[in-house]
A and B are shown apart, each in its own frame.
Chain A
Amino acid sequence: MAKKIDYNRRPMPKQEPFERVRNFDEVALGYTEDLAVEEASRCLACKKSFCKEGCPVAVDIPGFIQCIVDRDFAGGIKKIKETNALPAVCGRVCPQEDQCEKVCVLGKKGSPVAIGRLERFLADWEAASGETETPDILPSTGKKIAIVGSGPAGVTVANDLVLLGHDITMFEALHDAGGVLTYGIPEFRLPKAIVRREVEYVESLGVKLRLDYIVGKTKTIDRILTEFDAVFVGAGAGLPWFMEIPGENLNGVYSANEYLTRCNLMKGFRFPAYDTPIKRPSYVAVLGGGNVAMDSARTALRLGADEAHIVYRRSRTELPARLEEVENAEEEGVIFDFLTQPMRLIGNESGWLTEMECLKMELGEPDSSGRRRPVPIEGSEFRMKTDAVVCSIGNSPNPLIPLTTPGLEVGRKGNIVVDEATGKTSRDAIWAGGDVVTGAATVISAMGAGRNAARDIHEFLSGNGSNA
């Protein structure tokens, strides 16, 4: 007899909004074992599992969910890790509503299975159990691979290739590893202890990590290639865009990268215990509507802002951020100014921002992206009081590596051009993947690209005579 379908997803315990806006601790507390089992039991274990196809790295979703139902948590985490090396991270930050959960059959009539939350549950369960199973590492191949960048793309390549017996060194420009997971995404959404755990895990497999090492400056890729057999570039998309409107160099105007780096990497929220200062302004306007914008606005509230605005030129439905973070931001009191376009920033005599002039927009015809294009409403200029503007409108790849690597083909937006299936660049022995190729995208897509490149690098190195 078919079981009765349960359309209601179990809510995940969270810190109360009034509480959490005053601390930097993680907002979501995660499922308890019983909640996880209840939620997992909703899964219909579909024969043709659409959910799995929705996941960029094809996690065996029905498989791990069945393990949870059976309370075989160790078996469950093992299943996930067959294809996803960072489940504690992905469970927290994947845009599930656009990926695995979007295509879950339960979503047609009710709410889809909370796949991300269950994934996170298993990863946290494993961490709490203190027993991480170390996979077998193949005998040494004697091949050396250099990885540029320690974000999700780089860590994935390192993980996959070290297991195959290669000698891996990961070079990171900053003084801490993890890429955007460390300097960008805030503590309250992704605790840094989790990122550190994942990085320490690949180190425990034998991956060497060189911090403070700016490839292209400390050494060029060509110099590195005199000592290494292959290079993978996972340098991310770290170059911040500005609006190119008047007043952007006023004091009080930040790129989201600066704002979040001061807070996360440099721990400015704990100033003066940590030396790097961060401003605590009262009226903060964040420009943009993606995850970066949500993170900036919610950080501003936690730093004590009276008002944190998200100023976005389209409407709520077009917000590119993860739905869960939009809802969290709303609960916390972030004010959303939709259909609003910043025009100019106005300062006082000492060069400090005081106001922002904006224009109201309305939605017109759909543009090439299929979203309705915002068009200005004539004469709708107005000013809002603000003492901080955080520009969160996007990033592109840093030109440092292309500039110092002759022959490396780059696209119009500075992204490294690769063969999509393999991540191979136009240069011999150089691969690339993640945001440096796609422009700002997602953690899981960076990991997927890393996985493909690792496979191709391994084939290249194997075919190159080592096993002949």
Chain B
Amino acid sequence: MYEIVERRMIVPNLHEFTVKAPEIAESVQAGNFIIVRPDEVGERTPLSVADWDCDAGTITSIFMQVGGSTAKLARLEPGGDIPTCAGPLGKETEIRDDFGTVLCIGGCYGIGSIYPVARALKEAGNKVVSLLEARSSYLLYWQDKLEEVSDRVIELTRDGTAGYKGHITRLGEILTLEKIKPDLIIVNGCTFLMMRASKMTESLGIKTIVNMNPIMIDGTGMCGVCRLTVAGKMKFACVDGPDFDGHEIDWEEFLKRRQTYNPEEVHPLRKSGCASHF
């Protein structure tokens, strides 16, 4: 059993979740993920690591409540426990000291998981610009933490209530206005953000790394459900990734594969009465 140290909603529908798992905290790196099960009948749910504390032996993730399993996670209270917390899984994000200027883009739960990436890049001596994307200002969080590890933080909201107004499709324009020439872009968050950002940066000719989030079960390379096509080759996101070059991914196939269980997943929602969240 793994003790829940914290579980609170930090902005509507996004939860900060901290679990006691000292051995994972000791080994984890930016870009890794963990797999948790909310209870004994629960799904194995992958969550990116957003922070950790070796002294306290804890791991923190940010999750969005979307369906049955994340709804169960959202009902957990500090002091309680969960039966499974496994990790750190996946390869860590590649950190070098000579990237130059790196643009870290985070949206949704990815604002959390891009934080340790930005921190590691900064510590290695790169120039770090963080771009936080959300529907509206009230959905942004952790700005202070990101300020600390970035040379600059830019915000982009669809309704313009904070920073630039609009979608990630404005990326080229924002880079010009801010006079930034990134040598590398790293994107964490929902699939659409990663896909759109990759399509934008392809025309800009900037290498872009994305942290993929397919359906998973074991997270150790055993089941193959997380497979995707990268540069024409079959890869398993849980062991070959989850970081891949966004310009090499077959996005269309990826989006379709993620829909596989949508018909079934409606069931627990009806059962749990959460359908109103959609």
Contacts and interface: CB of A to CB of B under 8 A. Distances in A.
Closest 6 CB pairs of A and B: A351-B256, A277-B264, A212-B86, A258-B223, A255-B224, A238-B222
Interface of A: 173-175, 183, 211-214, 217-219, 238-240, 242, 248-249, 251, 254-255, 257-258, 261-262, 266-267, 271-277, 279, 350-351, 398-400
Given A173-B220, A239-B221, A274-B41, A218 B271 contact: no
A248 B260 CA distance: 14
Interface of A is mostly: loop
Contact of A277 (B26, B222, B256, B265): B265
B43 interface: yes
> Chain B interface residue count: which class?
35 or more
Contacts of B88: 217-218
Interface of B: 23-24, 26-27, 37, 41-44, 68-69, 72, 83-89, 217-218, 220-225, 227-229, 234, 239, 253, 256-257, 259-261, 264-265, 267-268, 271
A365 to B, nearest CB: 32
Contact of B257 (A249, A266, A272, A275): A249
B42 A275 contact: yes
B104 to A, nearest CB: 24
Contacts, number: 113
A254 B228 CA distance: 13
A265 to B, nearest CB: 8
A249 B227 contact: yes
A239 B264 contact: no
Contacts of B68: 275
Contacts of B221: 238-239, 398-400
Given A249-B257, A275-B43, A275-B69, A261 B85 contact: no
Given A175-B83, A239-B222, A271-B264, A262 B217 contact: yes
B43 A266 contact: yes
A272 B271 contact: yes
A145 to B, nearest CB: 19
Contacts of B223: 240, 255, 257-258, 261
Contacts of B256: 251, 350-351
B268 A258 contact: no
B266 to A, nearest CB: 10
Nearest to B260: A251
Contacts of B271: 272
Contacts of B42: 275
Contacts of B37: 175
A71 B69 CA distance: 52
Given A240-B223, A242-B224, A254-B225, 8 more contacts: A213-B86, A217-B87, A255-B224, A275-B43, A276-B43, A350-B256, A351-B256, A400-B221
A351 B253 contact: yes
B36 to A, nearest CB: 9
Contacts of A400: 220-221, 239
A175 B40 CA distance: 10
Contacts of A277: 261, 264-265, 267
B268 A214 contact: no
A248 B268 CA distance: 29
A217 B27 contact: yes
A248 B234 contact: yes
A266 B264 CA distance: 15
